[in-house]
Amino acid sequence: MIEFDRRRALRGHVLELGVSACVETSRAARALAAVLTTGPELPSAEATPERAAHSPAWEPLLVRIERSIGRGDASGVRSVLPSFVGLFRTEPLLYCPPSDGGKPHEVLRAQTALHVLEDMLTRLPRLGLLRETFHLTKLARQMEWNNPPEGRRVSSFDQLFRTALNGVVETLLSAAADWGEDAGPDGPLSGMLFQLAEAFQELWVQHSQSLRLSVLESVNDDDDWEPVRAFVKKYGSDLFTVPFLGLSNMRGILARGVAAWLDHEVERDEADKRPKLIDDWASGNLDRNRTTRAAEVVLQALVEHYEEYRDYNTTTTQSDYGENIHILLDFLRVKVRYDRYAWRMRPLALAHEVLCKRGNDSLAAKWREFIADKTAGLAEDLADRLGALETRYGVKLRTIRDRVEERFLLPLEIDQAAARVAPAAEAARSGEGEDNPAFARLTAAVEPLADNVSGVGLDVPAWVRRLEEAMRATKTRDATEADEPRPADGLNFEELRRQLADWDKPIGE
């Protein structure tokens, strides 16, 4: 199974590289077409039959949009965008990876559409087209329902959403750079930012409702959980051994299919050594559909949460007995519930990250207070649930306890610390002394993180990795210039108010 998993991964990787090469080639071709065309109008696809046979109908309009973007012509983009959206909205965005049996040409079509949206969501905010950026993000959400493929489906909406929200917030902050006191926590900037975040939050919640973060969300209710727990207690003792629970072995079984794997094990001439599950499968003394479902939930949950499994396997005595694996799964159900609520608040966290990067500390502090008030009761409830499980089983899993103890606020503290790395690094390169305020601000942000020991020593803490990434970024670019985008031409206070007033109007109206 390990060799099968290795070859499957290699095959999928090669196919993904091929698809990526095709996507990048088409992006380069469109960019060249936008630059090299000199006339007022671009030729239509019908005018070039040899390209019309291979190009989508929306491509000429996209080239015109890219040409207008390159010129900084916001009105030109607005004039073409409705026609482009009318043709483009039927493209698929979801795809099944080649490693899981997806067809490369279908993956190519979806990846092409994803990159088109990614490019536009990156560049439109820089022209001051905030409302159009939001509606393209909304369009991406709707396009995920276009001809969804069979099998495992990959969604890239979270990346598109992050690109759009970051671009909109950064553009708003750039436009408000010369507002003076109006850009403070009690000025109109705060109200505009909350209005934008609320609109994106509503869209994100709609997306979250259709997305499964973990297979354990399917057994959230006790009635659904009991069959899985019973399966583990009945068959786990001689099935869930340490070699069996190796990551590659479990992935290989899931890729092949649990039922197919069980059929194969029945045919092997090792009846005296095989687990009880194999004997019962061979004799038919079980509900095959129910058993297959329970086994898939267990294996998929352990694959998705392998770090927590390592914690359980190295720090508890219960892990010596395979029939106790349901204990870990019960703990993971609490973590998954926490992750779901944290996922729903992602737009607020993304906006806070941009505020920290831009040095708007007063507004970022107000943002943290708002999130803390919003999540206090929920964080306490989840901590109580986890405490009850720890008492019931006599087990404490540090990785899960650390996650719940974040109380939805630790990522915000890490944002604040990471944003202070670049100024401190710049001061260090300039030969500033230790009394420079940049060092003091970084130290003040890092000390609370360092005081709380996290994990079980198997991995570097998340906040250390985040600071390292921020430090590495300062070595490759001038962080102060890269994080200060030029305000969009014409995006003044009145234009912002107009766009926010017309926020819900579709593109073209």
Q: How many domains does the chain have?
A: 3
Tell me, yes or no, whether 30 and 137 share the same domain: yes
Across 313-346, b (16+ Cβ under 10 Å) vs e yields bebbebbeebbbbbbbbbbbbbbbbbbbebbebb
Report yes or no on 498 lying in a domain: no
Please report whether residue 203 resides in a domain: no
Last residue of a domain, one of 313, 333, 353: 333
Based on the fold, state whether residues 303 and 391 are members of the same structural domain: no
The answer on 429 and 319 residing in a single domain is no
211 in any annotated domain: no
> In degrees rounded to 5, what are phi and psi of residue 95?
-150, 155
Segments in the chain below pLDDT 70: 38-54, 180-184, 269-272, 454-458, 477-490, 509
Q: Are residues 220 and 319 in the same domain?
A: yes
Cα distance between residue 62 and residue 163, in whole Å: 19
Asked if residue 338 is part of any domain, the answer here is no
Asked whether residue 256 falls in the same domain as residue 152, the answer is no
Per the listing, tokens 């890092």 go with 446
Do 27 and 113 belong to one domain?
A: yes
Same domain, 311 and 367: no
Structure confidence by residue, pLDDT tens digits, 326-385: 999 999 999 999 999 999 999 999 999 999 998 888 899 999 999 999 999 999 999 999
Residues 220 and 260 in one domain: yes
Q: Please enumerate, as own/partner, the contacts of 452-455 that have beta carbons within 8 Å and a separation of 24 or more.
A: 454/398, 454/402, 455/398, 455/399, 455/402
151 torsion bin: left (phi>0), alpha (psi -120 to 50), beta (else):
left
Do 352 and 436 have their domain in common? Answer: yes
End position of a domain, from candidates 141, 156, 171? 156
Q: Which of 298, 333, 368 is the last residue of a domain?
A: 333
Q: Specify the pTM.
A: 0.84
Task: Let me know whether 324 and 364 are in one domain.
Answer: no
Could you give the C-alpha distances from 122 to 77, 115, 116, 476, in angstroms and in order? 14, 10, 10, 21
SS (H, E, C) 363-384: HHHHHHHHHHHHHHHHHHHHHH
410 assigned to some structural domain: yes
Same domain for 351 and 272?
no
Is the distance from CB of 21 to CB of 115 less than 8 angstroms? no
Is 198 a domain residue?
no
**What does the alpha-carbon distance between residue 332 and residue 79 come to, in Å, rounded to a whole number?**
51
Q: Does 181 fall in a domain? A: no
Inside any domain, residue 188? no
CA 375 to chain centre: 21
Q: Is 154 in a helix, a strand, or coil?
A: strand
pLDDT at 186: 73
Residue 212 CA to residue 355 CA, distance in Å, equals 29
- Enter the tokens of residue 423: 């100024």
Rounded Cα distance, 279 and 275, in Å: 7
Distance CA 489, CA 478 (A): 23
Burial (CB < 10 A; 0-12, 13-18, 19+), residue 40, is exposed
Domain hosting 403: range is: 345-486
Instruction: Tell me: do 57 and 8 sit in the same domain.
Output: yes
Q: How far apart, in whole angstroms, are the C-alpha atoms of residue 191 and residue 195?
A: 6
